[in-house]
Amino acid sequence: MIFFKRAVFLGLIFLFIAPSYAELTIDVTEGLDSAVPIAVVPFASSGVPVNISAVVNADLERSGYFKMMAEQGMPSKPNTLAAVNFSEWQGLGQNYLVIGQVSDAGGGQYNVQFQLLDVFKSGQLLGYRMSSSAADLRRTAHHISDLIFEKLTGKKGVFSGRIAYITTNNQGSKQQSQQLQVADADGFNPQTVASSVEPLMSPSWSPDGKKLAYVSFERKSAAIYVQTLATGERVRVAEFPGINGAPAWSPDGTRLALTLSKDGSPDIYVLNLTTRSLTRLTKSFAIDTEPSWSPDGGSIVFTSDRGGKPQIYRVPSQGGEEKRLTFSGDYNARASFSPDGKSLVLVHGNGNDYRIAVMDLATRSMNVLTSGRSDESPSFAPNGSMILYASKKGRTGFLSAVSLDGKMQQKLVFNSGEVREPAWAP
* Global pTM value: 0.88
Does residue 28 belong to any structural domain of this protein? no
pLDDT at position 2 over 50: no
Say if residues 98 and 89 touch (Cβ distance below 8 Å): no
Is residue 75 very low, low, confident or very high in pLDDT (cuts 50, 70, 90)?
Answer: very high
What's the confidence (pLDDT) of residue 17? 43
Residue 332 CA to residue 193 CA, distance in Å, equals: 31
Looking at the fold, whether 178 and 213 belong to one and the same domain comes out as yes
The amino acid sitting at 335 is A
Looking at the fold, whether 92 and 238 belong to one and the same domain comes out as no
47 - beta bridge partners?
none
Looking at the fold, whether 319 and 287 belong to one and the same domain comes out as yes
pLDDT at position 13 over 50: no
Residue 323 CA to residue 152 CA, distance in Å, equals: 41
CATH of the domain at 48: 3.40.50.10070
Q: Higher pLDDT residue, 2 or 90?
A: 90
Does residue 18 belong to any structural domain of this protein? yes
Residue 291 CA to residue 425 CA, distance in Å, equals: 17
CATH of the domain at 365: 2.120.10.30
Looking at the fold, whether 189 and 309 belong to one and the same domain comes out as yes
Does residue 68 belong to any structural domain of this protein? yes
Looking at the fold, whether 370 and 239 belong to one and the same domain comes out as yes
300 - beta bridge partners?
293, 315
Strand 96-106 and strand 36-40: pairing?
parallel
Looking at the fold, whether 134 and 189 belong to one and the same domain comes out as no
What contacts 24+ positions apart, CB below 8 Å, involve 413-417?
413/24, 413/25, 413/26, 413/27, 414/22, 414/23, 414/24, 414/167, 415/22, 415/23, 415/24, 415/25, 416/22, 416/169, 417/22, 417/167, 417/168, 417/169, 417/170
Does residue 27 belong to any structural domain of this protein? no
Looking at the fold, whether 204 and 237 belong to one and the same domain comes out as yes
Neighbours of 384 (CB within 10 A): 19
User: Where in the sequence is the domain holding 94, given as residue range(s)?
Assistant: 33-153
Looking at the fold, whether 344 and 328 belong to one and the same domain comes out as yes
Looking at the fold, whether 126 and 272 belong to one and the same domain comes out as no
pLDDT at position 38 over 70: yes
pLDDT at position 82 over 90: yes
Residue 38 CA to residue 66 CA, distance in Å, equals: 7
Indicate the residue among 124, 153, 182 that finishes a domain.
153
Domain count, the chain: 2
pLDDT per residue as tens digits for the range 261-282: 999 999 999 999 999 999 999 9
In the chain, the percentage of residues whose pLDDT exceeds 90 is 73
255 - beta bridge partners?
272
Indicate the residue among 153, 177, 210 that finishes a domain.
153
pLDDT at position 295 over 90: yes
Looking at the fold, whether 300 and 325 belong to one and the same domain comes out as yes
Looking at the fold, whether 275 and 140 belong to one and the same domain comes out as no
